Chains A and B, each alone.
Chain A
Amino acid sequence: MKNKKLVGKDLILIGALTAVMFVIYMIISIAMSFAGPVTNVFYPPVVSVFNGIVMMLLLAKVPKLGVLSIAGTIQGLLSFLLGAFWTVGTGLIVGAILADFLIIGFKDISTKKMIAAYSVYSGIFTFGAIAPMNIFRDAFMALTLKNGISQEYVDGLIKMTEWPMLTVIIIAGFVGGFLGGLLGLKILKKHFVKAGLVQA
């Protein structure tokens, strides 16, 4: 009978791995926004692919309800702190809690559930990060311009987030999460299970 409550040991692991995820998120989002509006809108799926590795490790070590919520909430709160648009953090928090309660739920975890939950989380995160460029277009662009970013960049962003492209981006979000989950599981098997750090 496994213990379902989150123990101190689990919380510490969540904290440490969330730190790793957040650092990866920061590096990728800065690198991709740096390179231009085309890559900027695709940063959430890419972040999800890389963070998938860390998240799968976390879920494998601590297969309990609440892990995804806490990890996502902390990342969301930190993204508020670093001044991303308010929907990014909200998307992270909402996505994490939804994915956790709807998919991981109260029964036992399986690898399929892990990947599904992470895909949902990643999709909602992408929506929260990029959709405002279309839905709240004026507020977003005004804020970006005020921050001193040139008009060309803003025009590029507007072009990239027209409706057809926007659905592509959101779907990419889900796909990115899916791929990240698969990649994470593969790496888990290849390295961590062999090293004996994680049970299969």
Chain B
Amino acid sequence: MINESVRNKITEVTFHGTARLDPRLKLLMLIILGCVSFFINGDVPSLLLMTAVTVFVAAGSDPKWGIKMLIIYILISYLNICLKYIYIPVISLMISMFGVTVLKAMPIVTLGRWVLKSTYMDELTVALERAGMPLTVIIPFVVMFRYIPTLGIEYKLIRNTMKIRGVSDSFIKILLHPFATFEYILIPLLMRCLKVSDELAASGTTRGMERTNKRYALQEVRFGFIEYLILAFVLIFVAGLFVLEKTPAGHFVIWRLG
């Protein structure tokens, strides 16, 4: 009896649904989606792509992020179209470029952040190792994914300290001393980075990261039937998007004024 509850506690996970897929599948989807997003240009296929990503993310126990991104996407699409009617010489160019880049990047960013959040690092290591990648590639990759959120936190901490000390805290000060500001942010960030890496290395070595034996994971990491099914589904969906783009439905402009 006690064994049962202990076993339940250990195998308990916070993520459900699609988050439990094999990490390799998630990475593959991210890559496919990245390429696709930059080739699809019609309004309808792009919106479909974004909605599909939102549905996927929502099924993976993170609906708020998905829906938030979808709303921002729709807002920016609309704004982009409004811009075609108001023409201010230089700013229009900048904003339209910015808007287009943001729109293209949205599905990737949505899926990417969700993949980062929902994948356990040890599962990722095991999955990559089973895919046959050498250790020299797996470790930097996993460290990078794990480190980017930490970077954000460190950056906020550094900015807070700068504000307390009155260093480059207002916009004017940043404009007047751009390079100094950059130096004051980057150097502490790099020093923190070194410290964090040392601690990570110590912790990793303790966990046997450098061993070249075969690895196992507590949760099942398997590229099984469901993974193949979803992969097939994704490929069909992508093919469908391309076909849709050729048909008149692809050129249908959703975002219209009046």
Q: A7-B210, A19-B151, A147-B104 are in contact. Are A153 and B93 (CB under 8 A)?
A: yes
* A14-53 CB contacts (< 8 Å) to partner B: 14-20, 22-23, 30, 33-36, 50, 53
B175 to chain A, nearest CB (A): 14
A5 to chain B: closest residue by CB: B136
Q: A148-B100, A149-B100 are in contact. Are A16 and B193 (CB under 8 A)?
A: yes
A16 CA / B197 CA spacing, docked (Å): 7
Q: Is the CB of A8 within 8 A of B209?
A: yes
Question: In this assembly, does A3 line the interface, its C-beta being within 8 Å of a C-beta of chain B?
Answer: no
Question: In this assembly, does B101 line the interface, its C-beta being within 8 Å of a C-beta of chain A?
Answer: yes
* A102-155 CB contacts (< 8 Å) to partner B: 143, 146-150, 152-153
Number of contacts between A and B (CB, 8 Å)? 131
Question: In this assembly, does B38 line the interface, its C-beta being within 8 Å of a C-beta of chain A?
Answer: yes
Question: In this assembly, does A82 line the interface, its C-beta being within 8 Å of a C-beta of chain B?
Answer: yes
A36 CA / B38 CA spacing, docked (Å): 20
Residue in B144, B183, B201 whose beta carbon sits within 8 Å of that of A8 in the complex: B201
* A67-99 CB contacts (< 8 Å) to partner B: 70, 74, 80-83
Question: In this assembly, does B160 line the interface, its C-beta being within 8 Å of a C-beta of chain A?
Answer: no
Q: Is the CB of A20 within 8 A of B41?
A: no
Majority DSSP secondary structure for residues of A touching B: helix
Interfacial chain B residues near A23, Cβ < 8 Å: 148, 151
B12-48 interface code vs A (CB 8 A; 1 in, 0 out) = 0000000000000000001100110110010000000
Question: How many residues in B have their beta carbons less than 8 Å from beta carbons of A?
Answer: 49
Interfacial chain A residues near B100, Cβ < 8 Å: 147-149
Question: In this assembly, does B97 line the interface, its C-beta being within 8 Å of a C-beta of chain A?
Answer: yes
Q: Is the CB of B147 within 8 A of A15?
A: yes
Q: Which of A158-166, A172-180, A189-197 is the interface stretch?
A: A189-197
Q: Is the CB of A81 within 8 A of B191?
A: no
Interfacial chain B residues near A200, Cβ < 8 Å: none
Interfacial chain A residues near B41, Cβ < 8 Å: 146-148
Q: Is the CB of B93 within 8 A of A36?
A: yes
Q: Is the CB of A66 within 8 A of B136?
A: yes
B24 to chain A, nearest CB (A): 15
Residue in A14, A35, A82, A150 whose beta carbon sits within 8 Å of that of B108 in the complex: A82
Question: In this assembly, does B181 line the interface, its C-beta being within 8 Å of a C-beta of chain A?
Answer: no
A185 CA / B35 CA spacing, docked (Å): 38
Interface residue ranges, B against A (CB under 8 Å): 30-31, 34-35, 37-38, 41, 80, 90, 93-94, 96-98, 100-101, 104-105, 108, 135-137, 139-144, 147-148, 151, 182-183, 186-187, 189-191, 193-194, 196-198, 200-201, 204-205, 209-210
Interface residue ranges, A against B (CB under 8 Å): 6-9, 11-20, 22-23, 30, 33-36, 50, 53-54, 57, 61, 66, 70, 74, 80-83, 143, 146-150, 152-153, 187, 191-192, 195, 197
